[in-house]
Amino acid sequence: MDGLEEMAHPSPTTSSLEFQHNDIEMSRLTQIPATTQDSYKPGVTHQTIRDDYDSDEDGDSGERTLLNQNVQARWNEKDSVVFWKQTCSIAVETLPTLLFTTVGIVFTGELFDKISHWKAMTSVNELILIVPVILNLKGNIEMNLSSRLGTASHMGDLDIPSVRNALILGNLALLQVQAAVVSFIAACLSFLLSELIPGVGEESLPMDTRSSFHYARSTSLSHSQRRPRPAPLPAGAPKSGFNEFMVVASTAMSAACLSAVLLGSFMSFLVVLCRKLGRDPDNIAPPIASCLGDLVTVTLLGAMSTVLILSIGTPAPYVVISIVALCGTVCAVIVGKNEHVRPLLREGWTPLLGAMVITSASGIVLDLFVSRYDGYALLAVAFGGIPGGTGSIFVSRLSTALHAAAPAVHDNPTSDSMGITTPSGRSRSEPTPRVVMLVLLVVSIPVGLIYFFVLRVLTWLTAPFAFSIIALFFLCIAITISLAVAYILTNYLWRHGYDPDVYALPIHSAFMDLLGQLLLVSCFELASAVGLRVRSRPKA
């Protein structure tokens, strides 16, 4: 890790903030009073938020004796209604989001399958290699942005115009800096991979595996499959030189920065809109940020490569890189002067780069098994995208709850019967993390069923009913593990002084990429052991 988060809230490393298992209540966060970051100072005691029933319970003991039964019954009824209302709200907000992102994953893959045949992509091999790498890095910084803004929304920072403007402008400037850096790293890595990848053409593949080859190349570029796994290079292709590198670097940097402007502005608008409409951005923003980020970035990569390939060997790529570098420098200065995002300028790089390394391992798994199992790449979308999207929602909710509860716990922490430290003013009607995990699991199962149904209706995948049951079972395992990892990882980072809004999502996303592939391999192995065969429709 490259630095502790210098949050403007009380330090999460103090003993009073030790959330051992963190039964922090996470719904009703929109009811938290608007409080700017400046109001949270280390060492300053803040008043604990308490509900009305706390005052009743702290009143005169004789009065409690006379009124206890009526008051308790009245509050139990109210708590039950609020609890189910909040639980249903989670389901209503997350189900369309997960459906949208799953469909977006498929369309992104199809779009790249078209773009990969354009002249620029076939002329410079590294332009193909760079796509999974840049989607890996850039997708994570956009999810981090949505998580940070979601936390700021619940803390009330977006309700104050001056603070809201400073937060949004600072985060957009930070996004430009990160986009410029990660895109240049992606360009360098693509050339390194081109030296390590042996030249294997598609023509060398057996006829029955070419369909899987096409699907693998497209689906490996989604949020769930955001891995630096290159497509096989054409046999005998000439080695790229410095001019080709400049084209690749200028394409990646310009596309990434333009995408950052578009996606950053849209995500900021989406979070503010959710706040205005009383919706929880933690349930909506992270998966949409990932899905739209992939779609927009792939589109811009195709467009910019088509334009810049015509200027190879000319000063145009140098000019583009210089402009992007200059804009990145100016944005870095802006971020350095913004107290809300200044610490992020030097933090968070380690999880981004570490996630890229982890997803490389999942790319190796995909390479090994995509031609071995027919239809593998189609199901890889579901086994990475659905658990990853569900986990990103849970990480964002947990991070928001931890930030929001920190002042209350710092002021007057209590422990429940399990020894879990929680704010003393928490409401008994709020769903616990375990309840939220269960709701997200139940919501994600229909998403998987719908995805399998669409594959069957479109005849993209033909499989026995028994295989669908096995695949759904392994998908449920992946979702459960994703939620458990999100819970453990977020609380671990918080206890050790690292902001989950910065560190959790890249690590979680990368881990689920790898685990999703391994579980899908296990699914196919089990199906093969019992004699089930799966077939996918060859693409025209």
3-state secondary structure 233-299: ECCCCCCCCHHHHHHHHHHHHHHHHHHHHHHHHHHHHHHHHHHHHCCCHHHCHHHHHHHHHHHHHHH
Mean pLDDT of 396-402: 89
Mean pLDDT of 481-500: 93
Mean pLDDT of 171-189: 89
Classify 535 as helix, strand or coil.
Answer: strand
Burial of 282 (0-12, 13-18, 19+ CB in 10 A): buried
**The pLDDT of residue 2:** 47
Residue 79 has pLDDT above 80, yes or no: no
The most confident of the ranges 158-167, 232-241, 349-358, 457-466 is 158-167
> Of 23-27, 300-304, 428-432, which range is least confident?
23-27
Summarize pLDDT for 498-539 with one digit per residue, the tens: 989 889 988 998 888 888 888 988 998 898 888 887 765 555
The kind and range of the H/E element at 462 are strand 461-462
**The pLDDT of residue 48:** 31
Mean pLDDT of 14-21: 42
Q: Where are the domains of the chain?
A: 71-536
Residue 212 has pLDDT above 70, yes or no: no
Q: One-letter amino acid identity for 522?
A: S
Cβ neighbours of residue 132 closer than 8 Å, sequence gap 6 or more: 220, 221, 225, 226, 227, 228, 229, 230, 363
The band of 166, judged by pLDDT with boundaries at 50, 70 and 90, is very high
Is residue 16 a contact partner of residue 413, using CB atoms and an 8 Å limit? yes
Residue 369 has pLDDT above 80, yes or no: no
Beta strand residue intervals within 308-454, DSSP E: 413-415, 421-423
Classify 480 as helix, strand or coil.
Answer: helix
d(CA 494, CA 402): 8
Q: Higher confidence at residue 7 or residue 275?
A: 275
**The pLDDT of residue 253:** 92
The band of 177, judged by pLDDT with boundaries at 50, 70 and 90, is very high
d(CA 44, CA 346): 27
Q: Higher confidence at residue 151 or residue 223?
A: 151
**The pLDDT of residue 366:** 64
Q: Higher confidence at residue 418 or residue 317?
A: 317
> Of 179-183, 340-344, 419-423, 526-530, which range is least confident?
419-423
Mean pLDDT of 378-393: 85
Is residue 267 a contact partner of residue 142, using CB atoms and an 8 Å limit? yes
The band of 371, judged by pLDDT with boundaries at 50, 70 and 90, is low
**The pLDDT of residue 484:** 95
Summarize pLDDT for 456-468 with one digit per residue, the tens: 888 777 788 888 8
Q: Higher confidence at residue 290 or residue 527?
A: 527
Long-range contacts of 484-488 (CB under 8 A, 24+ apart): 484/437, 485/391, 485/511, 485/512, 486/391, 486/392, 486/394, 486/395, 486/398, 487/22, 487/394, 487/398, 487/433, 487/437
> Of 142-151, 344-353, 371-380, 381-390, which range is least confident?
371-380
d(CA 285, CA 293): 12
Residue 235 has pLDDT above 60, yes or no: no
**The pLDDT of residue 51:** 40
Mean pLDDT of 385-392: 88
